[in-house]
Structure 1
Amino acid sequence: MTQFISAIRLIVPDYDQAIAFYVGLMGFELIEDSEISEDKRWVLVAPPGSTETRLLLAKASNEAQEEIIGEQAADRVFLFLETYDFDSDIALMERAGIDIIEEPRIESYGKVVVFRDPFGNKWDLIERH
């Protein structure tokens, strides 16, 4: 049996603001943006070339959800974005003004840098050896 994780829900304050960041600045692909109800949409984005796992951008719909925006991983790195061209990707991120919160470093598994999306979520950008 083959299985995979198809989507990870990321709670955001606003659909269009999240699309502007992930698609407009990060270069992700907008896979789907469908209206479910008057105030709810099904918004899937994914890094270019990704074929399985997507981010489901979910607008907070109550106070409890609003309180955890950016804190879904309790101030730890939440998501891990792998790349085959770390240097080019970090240069694009810097030009786009993405919040890189520490200096890039070399670890036993490869190059890594931590960045933060505008909602407070921490990410690792990783290029494995």
Structure 2
Amino acid sequence: MALTNLNLVSVPVSDQDRAKHFYAEVLGFTVLMDNPMGENMRWVMLQPPGASTKITLVTWFPTMPAGSLKGSVLSCDDLESTLRELAHRGVTFHEQEIRQAPWGRWKSFDDPDGNGWIVQQDAAF
């Protein structure tokens, strides 16, 4: 089998402009595209810094209501520094304390639509 990469994740949102602002300005993702796509639709694609995986902010899947994405993990090298920076930019985390498990240390947050994300520093394997 020749599967080599998770290329794109669809993030269901209610307002692409609000979501684009959050992912670009608050989380620091790079906007790769914001183009019309059919009638009354846009293809808004962003990428986390240094990542190969991209996200697209979708509004058109009836089986993916805004806020239904949960448990996606954003990795970082320095969890404490990243959490401080994101909190400074307005991210509110669910946990008061950093959580720990065999696979890493993390805190979680929601985007403006309620999509659940995890910021994690991976454990050394």
**TM-score range with shorter-chain normalisation?**
0.7 to 0.9
What corresponds to 2:73 in structure 1? 80
CA contact (8 A) 1:11 1:65 kept: no
- What residue is the counterpart of 2:82 in the other structure? 89
Equivalent residues of 2:59, 2:66 under 8 A apart = no
Deviation string, structure 1 residues 85-121 (Cα, Å, up to 9, x no partner): 2111100111112120112123222221111111111
Q: 1:71 is aligned with what amino acid?
A: S
Structure 2: gaps (5+ residues): none
Corresponding residue of 1:101: 94
SS at match of 1:99: coil
Identity %, equivalent residues: 27
Shift of 1:2: 4.7
RMSD: 1.9
Structure 1 residues without counterparts, runs of 5 or longer: none
Which deviations, in whole Å up to 9, do the C-alpha atoms of 1:1-48 show, x marking residues without a partner? 353221111111111111100001000111111111341111111110
What is the distance in 1 between the residues matched to 2:44 and 2:122?
Answer: 29
Aligned to 2:67: 70
Tell me the alpha carbon deviations over residues 54-111 of structure 1, each in whole angstroms, 9 at most, x when there is no partner.
Answer: 11111247xx468x21124xxxx43111111211110011111212011212322222
Greater share of residues in helix: 1
State whether residues 10 and 57 of structure 1, in contact with CA within 8 Å, keep that contact through their aligned partners in structure 2: yes
How many residues get paired?
Answer: 121
- Identify the structure with the greater strand proportion: 1
Using the size of structure 2 for normalisation, the TM-score is 0.85
TM-score by length of 1: 0.83
Report if the CA contact (8 A) 2:12-2:68 is conserved: no
CA distance in structure 1 between the aligned counterparts of 2:39 and 2:68, rounded to whole angstroms: 27
**Alignment partners' CA distance in 1, 2:112 and 2:78:** 23
Q: Which residue of 1 aligns with 2:116?
A: 122
For the residues of structure 1 that align with 2:3 and 2:110, how far apart are their CA atoms? 33
